[in-house]
Structure 1
Amino acid sequence: MMKEATKEKQWVLCPWCGAKTRLQIFQETELKAFPLFCPKCRHESIIDVKNFIIKTKQPDAKTQC
């Protein structure tokens, strides 16, 4: 049980403002088309994660009301 607690993990940073989000990932974490919300700048980004490499995707254009 202690080995899992000592695994390397990283905070996911907001691609817009660089602030820490509320998400942590391990090396083996894989996310595809994950909606990442930043509590600081209140921006939502779509990300892919694999082996600590985070790639951002541009969300589809939203219609204005």
Structure 2
Amino acid sequence: MNCNKDNGQWLLCPVCKNKTRIRLREDTELQNFPLFCPKCKQETLINVKQLNTTVIKEPDAQTQSR
């Protein structure tokens, strides 16, 4: 498999800004992707379109009151 060096960018962790193990090309689109960072050990839901990354903020679970 040929992989050119100019063929994309590393996806950066939105929490600690370090490289993850995911490499993106310009035509890559991700939706509701669980990104795990090996350095800060956190998992974040993201969307990626045209190399623009957006973090999906989900509301925390609330306890039910009786």
TM-score tier, shorter chain, comes to 0.7 to 0.9
Q: State the alpha-carbon separation in 2 of the partners of residues 47 and 56 from structure 1.
A: 5
| Structure 2 portions without partners, runs of 5+ | none
- State how far apart, in whole Å, the 2-side matches of 1:59 and 1:53 are: 19
- The higher radius of gyration belongs to 2
Count of aligned residue pairs for this structure pair: 61
> What's the TM-score once normalised by structure 2's chain length?
0.79
Kindly report the root-mean-square deviation, in angstroms, between the aligned alpha carbons of the 2 structures: 1.8
Change (3 A) 1:58 1:18: same
Q: Which has the higher strand share?
A: 1
Match of 1:29 in 2: 28
Q: Which has the higher helix share?
A: 1
TM-score, length-scaled by structure 1: 0.80
